[in-house]
Amino acid sequence: MLLSLSSQNVIQYLQAAGLCSLENGITDKSELPRSSKKNFNLRVKLGNNQQLLVQQEHRFEDEGNPHEFFNEWLFQQLLRQFPVLGNIAAIASLVVHYDAENSILVRNYLSDYLELQSFYQKNDIFPTEIATAIGKTIASLHRATFQRREYRDFMSTAPEGQFRYSFYNPAQGIDTLTPEIFGAVPKEALQFYTYYQRYECLESAIADLAYEWKPCCLTHNDLTLSNILLHSRWDKLDNCLVKLIDWEACAWGDPTFDLGTLIASYLKIWLSSLVVDPMLDLEESLQLAVTPLEVIQPSLLALIRAYLNEFPAILEHRQDFLARVIQFAGLGLIHQLQAKIKFQQHFDNADMSALHLAQNLLTMPEKSIHTVFGVSQLEIVALLAEKHQLAQPQKEQKLVRLYYEKTRLRGC
């Protein structure tokens, strides 16, 4: 990396890159709070009312070029190369500059939009219109790119000097407990690792999920509530309510992963509002949440219904679609816990409850559909099947192999 970007040198940098001129200078610049540890984010206001978000990846000594922004840039190139994907361009923010050498990405800053995560946290309301807009938006991305070989080939492009042999399979378990982990995590967090290791059915369910992972369309791959922006006048608009940002991980992938990750992000609101008391059992603790699941459930149902309504054909291709979504939601919860231990060095009883829930979602997905959405799979699919004249799956066909014989005998 040649340049370390700061609020002092950003003006020269943008001028040199041709993104602003002397007449059209910068009127204001402010550092944004980081949602991740890795990027430096700077918002810059230009004289012509335009606002830019300038991001640079942090790189550590002796690390090569991380290329994290490459995928986001490649995604923008895909939109440029195939104008037929114009609708997809409208759901993202425009990348105006990419500098691979210095790991810098400049996007249009969407000043009319706010982070959905903060909106939910601040207002503690969950209007279904918002979830419906998100479901439609994700479905439009998946549907427009579904099984299109030319887009897949385009997304196979690797950064200069590198090779991309295959796309990343996100169904990954957690590391086994080693002496290094012992020394690196707080004592309470060890129960997370021991629990994970004790219940082999968990690891088998993840292995099964990895085996069933079917890359077939363009996926965002980091679809959390902090990577969705909501229009400040969302309640007065009919479209463009939401935008998806942070496309660093986007690639050819499995649509069930995007939905599962997002559902896990919604479930986190409920799970992080649980009352922590060692005297309470799991059921009691889940019931006493400050933001109960019942408050979030209508949004989860609206999300999945809107998605399937927009992209009903996916059910013809994937009979196990909903079960896989639920399993990825379970895996998403496990990854959230892992990140919390790593970055916040914290693990408490509420986290243990989240781990139990994750286990249920991963190992009993059909049963858990009701837990998450508040209605059965049949109720979700029946209306849709009628409307779109889909073949309704038989009950037997919906059963999928969940874990291997060996672990089933262990009574998990």
Ligand X SMILES: Nc1ncnc2c1ncn2[C@@H]1O[C@H](COP(=O)(O)OP(=O)(O)O)[C@@H](O)[C@H]1O
Q: Which residues sit at the interface with ligand X, rule CB under 6 A?
A: 32, 34-36, 39, 41, 53, 93, 107-110, 113, 115, 226-227, 229, 245-246
Q: Give yes or no for a contact between 162 and 100, defined as CB atoms under 8 angstroms apart.
A: no
Residue with the two structure tokens 């603790």: 285
- Residue 36 or residue 319: which is nearer to Mg ion going by CB? 36
Long-range contacts of 166-169 (CB under 8 A, 24+ apart): 167/215, 167/251, 167/252, 167/253, 168/221, 168/251, 168/253, 169/210, 169/213
Taking CB under 5 A as the criterion, the residue among 3, 26, 32, 35 binding Mg ion is 35
Q: Please select the residue that binds Mg ion; options are 246, 248, 254, 258, rule is CB under 5 A.
A: 246
User: Among candidates 387, 368, 367, 250, which has minimal Cα distance to 313?
Assistant: 387
Which CB sits closer to Mg ion, 93 or 368? 93
- Report the partner that residue 56 touches, choosing among Mg ion, ligand X, none (CB closer than 5 to 8 A by kind): none
Residue type, 180: E
Please report, as residue ranges, which positions from 313 to 372 form the binding site for Mg ion (by CB under 5 A).
none
Closest chain position to Mg ion (CB): 246
Residue 115 or residue 320: which is nearer to Mg ion going by CB? 115
The minimum distance between CB 145 and Mg ion, in angstroms, equals: 22
Site for Mg ion in 207-236 (CB under 5 A): 227
E-only strand ranges, 300-402:
none
Min dist. Cβ of residue 119 to ligand X (A): 11
258 belongs to the binding site for Mg ion (CB under 5 A): no
Task: Between 103 and 327, name the residue whose CB sits nearer to Mg ion.
Answer: 103
Q: Which does 7 bind (CB under 5 to 8 A by kind): ligand X, Mg ion, none?
A: none
The residue (of 107 and 324) whose beta carbon lies closer to ligand X is 107
Rank residues 336 and 349 by Cβ distance to ligand X and give the closer one: 336
Could you tell which of ligand X, Mg ion, none binds residue 273, using a CB distance below 5 to 8 A set by kind? none
382 binds, among Mg ion, ligand X, none (CB under 5 to 8 A by kind): none
Nearest to 302 by CA among 342, 333, 259, 258: 259
Q: Is residue 65 a contact residue for Mg ion (CB under 5 A)?
A: no
| Half-sphere exposure for 92 (CA within 13 Å, toward CB) | 28
Q: How far is the CB of 394 from Mg ion (least distance, A)?
A: 41
Distance in Å, CB of 219 to ligand X, minimum: 16
Q: Which is nearer to Mg ion, 227 or 377 (CB)?
A: 227
User: Where would I find the H helices in 199-274?
Assistant: 200-212, 255-271
Total interface residues for Mg ion by CB under 5 A: 3
Using the contact rule CB under 5 A, the part of the chain among 30-38, 149-157, 192-200, 272-280 near Mg ion is: 30-38
CB under 8 Å to 186, separation ≥6 — which residues?
Answer: 341, 345, 346, 347
Q: Is the dihedral of CA 57, 62, 64, 68 positive or negative?
A: negative
Phi, psi of 182 (to 5 degrees): -50, -45
Which partner, Mg ion, ligand X, none, binds residue 110 by CB below 5 to 8 Å per kind? ligand X
The total of other beta-carbon atoms located within 10 Å of residue 250's CB is 23
Of residues 260, 357, 238, 350, the one with CA closest to residue 307 = 260
Using an 8 Å Cβ cutoff, are 307 and 138 in contact? Answer: yes
Shortest Å distance, C-beta 173 to Mg ion = 24
Ramachandran assignment for 263, one of left (phi > 0), alpha (psi -120 to 50 degrees), beta (any other): alpha
- Judged by beta carbon, residue 92 or residue 304, the one nearer ligand X is 92
Among 165, 309, 329, which Cα is nearest to 263's?
A: 329
Three-point CA angle 86, 218, 397, nearest 5°: 125
Spell out, one character per residue from 175 to 214, where the chain touches Mg ion: x when CB under 5 A holds, - when not. ----------------------------------------
Binding footprint of Mg ion on the chain (CB under 5 A): 35, 227, 246
